Amino acid sequence: MQLLPRRLAPAFRLIAVAGALGTAAIPAQAAEFLVRPIEVPELKAVFAEVESRTVVPARARIGGTVREVKVSEGSQVKEGDEIALVVDDKLALSLNAANARIQELKSQLANAATELDRAQQLLARGVASQSRVDTARTQYDVAANQVAAAEADRAVVVERAREGAVLAPAGGRVLTVPVTPGSVVLAGDEIARIASGQYYLRLSLPERHAADIKEGGTVRIGARGLSPEKAGGIAAARSGRIVKVYPEITAGRVMADVDVEGLGDYFVNERTLVWIEIGRRSVLAVPLDAVTTRHGIDLVRVAAAGGTIAVPVVLGERLEVDGAPRVVVLTGLVDGDTVLAP
């Protein structure tokens, strides 16, 4: 007996499986499905980085020494919260000097008030002239204005001391705190950086995909994690939307931003796995319940003259078409085949 070449053996085994199953009558409850090509998105798995819409610095308003830092990296703050305290020792000396000056001027004001009262009494008795009363009143007004000016100067010193409190310019998460208690800072120096905006994903794709990504396109975001095992599959991924495609290509990469909900607990610059549509391809897909597995071989029953034939197929990924689950058939079927399913 002549033996078959080894390269032909797998094909003859598939024919033997189909021949062993033979043809069968169409079940009464069987439904016919006409195999036609459908367009499905071509997805590319890439890593995206979590970014914040805005990152604002909290700056010192006066120069001095950092007395206290009330936040650390990762702290949540609200707008107006005190995050650090800067103290300038010279302000305390200026405040003491302002208080002493006010006390001096108040003594002069009291003396001017006494002189004015005495001049008015003497004028009433006819002893003093009106010019003396006018002079005393002028001295009193000058002393009162000097007290008011000194109190305003003291208010300036007090306000500068109050500005030593570094306040959060916006609510959000503290990213960095580059100072420690005891650090010497100048007015305008950065005390902390706060991520105050909504989080989004930043994509970096090769230049060859620049023409395939559009604003408004759908992106599928996996679970948190870098490995495919942690990120899960495409079927379990959530959806995001491309909101901006940057017009400049840098180092052979095109940048795009993706809006997605539920990134509040992510780290800024954390990477996560996403799938982005870079094109569309034509595939053949059949209903999931039309596929049966026997002895490790996937079979699809195809209508033929006089009955059905069980055709071995190679399956691809699963997808949904009009809300119905289907599976892609890589080999075994052609356009126009009629598949029978329960």
- Helix (H) or strand (E) holding 11, with range, is helix 9-21
CATH class of segment(s) 44-54+198-280? mainly beta
CATH class of segment(s) 89-162? mainly alpha
Distance, CA of 302 to CA of 335 (rounded, Å): 12
The string of pLDDT tens digits covering residues 247-296 is 888 888 889 989 888 787 788 888 888 888 877 788 888 888 888 898 88
Average pLDDT, the chain: 82
Note the pLDDT of residue 152.
92
Contact 200, 263 (CB under 8 A): yes
Going from N- to C-terminal start, the domains of the chain cover 18-39+282-341, 44-54+198-280, 61-87+164-197, 89-162
- Of 40, 36, 75, 35, the C-alpha closest to 58 is 75
User: What's the CATH architecture for 61-87+164-197?
Assistant: Beta Barrel (2.40)
Question: What secondary structure, in 3-state letters, does 23-67 show?
Answer: EECCCCCCEEEECCEEEEEEEEEEEEEEEECCEEEEECCCCEEEE
Contact 228, 236 (CB under 8 A): no
More confident residue, 236 or 9: 236
pLDDT of 193 > 90? The answer is yes
Note the pLDDT of residue 2.
35
pLDDT of 205 > 80? The answer is yes
DSSP 60-111: -SS-EEEEEE---TT-EE-TT-EEEEEE-HHHHHHHHHHHHHHHHHHHHHHH
| Percent of the chain scoring above 90 in pLDDT | 21
The CATH number of the structural domain formed by 18-39+282-341 is: 2.40.420.20
Note the pLDDT of residue 235.
63
Distance, CA of 61 to CA of 206 (rounded, Å): 44
